[in-house]
Amino acid sequence: MNSNASPSADALARLAAIIESRLPARGGDAETSYVARLLHKGPDSFLKKIGEEATEVVMAAKDADHGGDKQKVVYEVADLWFHSMIALAHYGLSPLDVVAELERREGTSGIEEKALRKAKAREASND
């Protein structure tokens, strides 16, 4: 990371590096590392965790809407991001790939972007 990166970007880069070091190909030990264990079990294992964490984000947000602790939303989103970063590492991707995609979308209306995706999907299905 460059020296102009925010502390948040540095934290994501450090976490990504730790997660990548737990990949089976890099000698991640499933006996001593939660991340290595998920990666060793394969995609179904960490994808299930992503689904569980996404549901917990929704539940925490619903609770916050009714007076619950908003900090729980942050806690659950952190879990979701963490497990999503495991998936990124498994597929040879990094948080920077996600940031690049968000930057690509910057300035594009969400409605317009969704319509473009639907049009591309229709074109692909007609081929």
Query: For residue 94, which of 17, 36, 25 has the smallest C-alpha distance?
Result: 17
Which pLDDT score, from 0 to 100, does residue 99 have?
92
Decide: 24 and 40 in contact? Cβ < 8 Å: yes
- Tokens describing residue 28: 């991640």
Which pLDDT score, from 0 to 100, does residue 92 have?
97
Entry pTM: 0.82
- CA gap 107, 40 in Å, rounded: 39
- Tokens describing residue 127: 């081929």
Which pLDDT score, from 0 to 100, does residue 4 have?
52
Which pLDDT score, from 0 to 100, does residue 6 have?
55
Which residues, given as ranges, of the chain have pLDDT below 70?
1-7
- CA gap 28, 12 in Å, rounded: 19
Decide: 55 and 48 in contact? Cβ < 8 Å: no
- CA gap 53, 30 in Å, rounded: 21
